[in-house]
Amino acid sequence: MSFPEKFMWGGATAANQYEGGWQEGGRGISLSDVLESGSDRFIKYSPSYRSDNTHFYPSRKASDFYHHWQEDIDLMYEMGFGCYRFSICWSRIFPTGEEAEPNEEGMHFYDLIIDKLIAYHIEPIITIEHFDIPLHLQEKYNGWASREMINLYLKYCRTLFERYKGKVKYWMTFNEINNAARLPLLCSGVYIAADEPFYQIAYQSAHHMFVANSLTVKMAHEIDAENQVGCMLALSTQYPETCRPEDVYAAYLQRQKSLFYSDVMLRGAYPYYTESFFRELNVNLKTEDSDLQNIAAYTNDYLAFSYYRTVVFHEGYRTTANTGGGIGDLNPYLKTSSLGWPIDPIGLKYVCRELQDRYGKPMMIAENGLGCEDNLSEGHIHDQERMDYLHDHIRELENAIDSDCNVFAYTWWGPIDIVSAGTGKMSKRYGFVHVDADDHGNGTFQRTRKDSFYYYQKIIADNGLNPNDEAAE
Ligand code: BGP
């Protein structure tokens, strides 16, 4: 068996890490434009950002897709992409988020991209919000902490659904929504001061996002019955560190904290464990009458998730919010990448089966990839580490599909080098295509195909791994 004939191979990017052009085409300032590169990236933004030339704000230039989109889509086509997942920058459409009418120049930019993808038979898959709210909405409302965000988001969604009706079918509401109570500034545009009730604010924000998600599904289906709206979560998993029942139980509870989000959005209700979970965290949700009805009535059509690495978890492990680090320790049975991330292809199969069991909905691997530093030698990049990672994950994905997991698409993260969300640096590269830019945004931005470019091209052409081709073994 293996990959179905219509399986969609492609890549995924996010505007805030790839697009650049931060002050062009009438675009408003986005929260991501004021997040510095460096260790404080997730917890604060510089109040002096408007005049600050001493810090580097990686999103502002990113990979300059804004000026390279034609060339980049040509490269995607050359690799054989059947789909491309990308996000729209909200502040390019509504510069502050509060305008009545969209910014036509911003819309036009995405029109061109979508039309070119369609001309190449590359299915556009749009993330409506990927770590990227208009800065104004952060400053005025503290992002999703405020209920006001729901209507502003729905106005933005309506604009997209109406404009791209008949052109775009696949949508995702929020990137990695289950980071809302881990990285609230990045995920939901919410700043929580040290003396504020962290979980109360974070989960209240998540509730607003759940309501917005359900109403977005409703709206998308009303505008075009063909629309498919996914939810998107980070679902790399944690194993128990030992077989001590205490550790096994702790790892299970930790997993529930993530699956909580998909339980709400795919099963249409807060799960049974919500009450005890919220009691423990002192969370009291404020809801309106119709919220739970909408959540029940409008569940997502598919589950998209990112999968990078797995870690181990033990009783008493303290997860710290806002750090962006992995949640758990290294697994001694796994090798790590050159940048220290554990590599666990079997975990991908495990997670696919777990999620198939739990939800039985179509699934998409929305992000998978290896970030490492590349060496350019005489114009070539021999990125064997990346090819090995790709090969091993595709092999296990194939196994999952062979055992009837319903996965319909795979989009490699950052197929053309982009800025890392975690580090804010360019030197952590995921691409099959190198972008000549350094950690300070200097460079020619020239694109160069790496060895992995041809390797992925072959995987796509063969619709999976060719058993006779052991190149990356
Ligand atoms: C996911 C995000 C992406 C991304 C990726 C890789 O959490 O959705 O935006 O960048 O992780 O992480 P990093 O860039 O930190 O290596």
DSSP helix/strand/coil, 126? strand
Nearest to 29 by CA among 16, 44, 38: 16
What's CA 207's distance to the chain center, in Å? 19
Q: How far is it, in rounded angstroms, from Cα 4 to Cα 6? A: 5
Among 39, 183, 420, 426, say which to mutate for ligand 1: greatest number of ligand atoms within 8 Å of CB.
420
Q: 78 catalytic, yes or no?
A: no
DSSP helix/strand/coil, 438? coil
DSSP run (H or E) holding 440: none
- Closest-CA residue, ligand 1 atom 10, reads 421
**pLDDT tens for residues 306-317?**
999 999 999 988
What does each C-alpha distance from 78 to 81, 258, 342 come to in angstroms?
A: 8, 37, 31
| Mean model confidence pLDDT for the chain | 94
390 pLDDT more than 70 = yes
**CB 368, CB 430: distance < 8 Å:** no
**Which residue type does 401 have?**
I
Q: How far is it, in rounded angstroms, from Cα 58 to Cα 20? A: 9
Mean pLDDT of 296-306: 98
Residue 37: phi and psi, rounded to 5, are -80, 135
- Closest-CA residue, ligand 1 atom 3, reads 421
Apex 395 CA angle, 415 and 460, nearest 5: 45
Percent of the chain clearing pLDDT 70 (strictly above): 95
Catalytic residue among 129, 176, 241, 396: 176
**pLDDT tens for residues 408-430?**
999 999 999 999 998 899 999 99
84 pLDDT more than 70 = yes
Q: How far is it, in rounded angstroms, from Cα 166 to Cα 146? A: 33
Using alpha carbons only, how large is the chain's radius of gyration in Å? 21
98 pLDDT more than 50 = yes
Q: Exposure of 178 by Cβ count < 10 A (0-12 exposed, 13-18 middle, 19+ buried)? A: buried
**Cβ of 445 below 6 Å from ligand 1:** no
User: What is the reported pLDDT for 377?
Assistant: 83
Q: 367 catalytic, yes or no?
A: yes
Apex 122 CA angle, 166 and 22, nearest 5: 85
Nearest to 303 by CA among 251, 352, 236: 352
Atom of ligand 1 nearest to the CA of 369: 6
What does each C-alpha distance from 337 to 309, 331, 384, 424 come to in angstroms?
A: 10, 13, 12, 19
User: What is the reported pLDDT for 37?
Assistant: 83
**pLDDT tens for residues 436-472?**
999 999 999 999 999 999 999 999 999 999 877 655 5
- Where does the pLDDT of residue 43 fall: very low under 50, low under 70, confident under 90, or very high at 90 and above? low
Helices 345-359/384-402 angle, 10° precision: 30
- Whose tokens are 């959540």? That residue is 295
- Closest-CA residue, ligand 1 atom 4, reads 421
Task: State in Å: Cα 399 to ligand 1 middle.
Answer: 25
Among 178, 305, 306, say which to mutate for ligand 1: greatest number of ligand atoms within 8 Å of CB.
306
User: What is the reported pLDDT for 379?
Assistant: 85
Tokens, residue 20: 């650049």
DSSP helix/strand/coil, 363? strand
Q: Exposure of 360 by Cβ count < 10 A (0-12 exposed, 13-18 middle, 19+ buried)? A: exposed
Mean pLDDT of 278-296: 97
DSSP run (H or E) holding 416: none
Mean pLDDT of 126-141: 96
Catalytic residue among 36, 241, 367, 396: 367
User: What is the reported pLDDT for 1?
Assistant: 63
- Where does the pLDDT of residue 431 fall: very low under 50, low under 70, confident under 90, or very high at 90 and above? very high
**Cβ of 14 below 6 Å from ligand 1:** yes
**Cβ of 235 below 6 Å from ligand 1:** no
Lowest-pLDDT range of 45-54, 125-134, 410-419, 449-458? 45-54
- Where does the pLDDT of residue 170 fall: very low under 50, low under 70, confident under 90, or very high at 90 and above? very high
- Where does the pLDDT of residue 54 fall: very low under 50, low under 70, confident under 90, or very high at 90 and above? confident
User: What is the reported pLDDT for 473?
Assistant: 47
| Buried residues in 425-443 as b, exposed as e (16+ CB within 10 A) | bbbbbbbbbbbebebebee
Strands 123-129 and 170-174: parallel
**Cβ of 421 below 6 Å from ligand 1:** yes
Nearest to 274 by CA among 260, 288, 262: 260
**CB 231, CB 177: distance < 8 Å:** yes
160 pLDDT more than 70 = yes
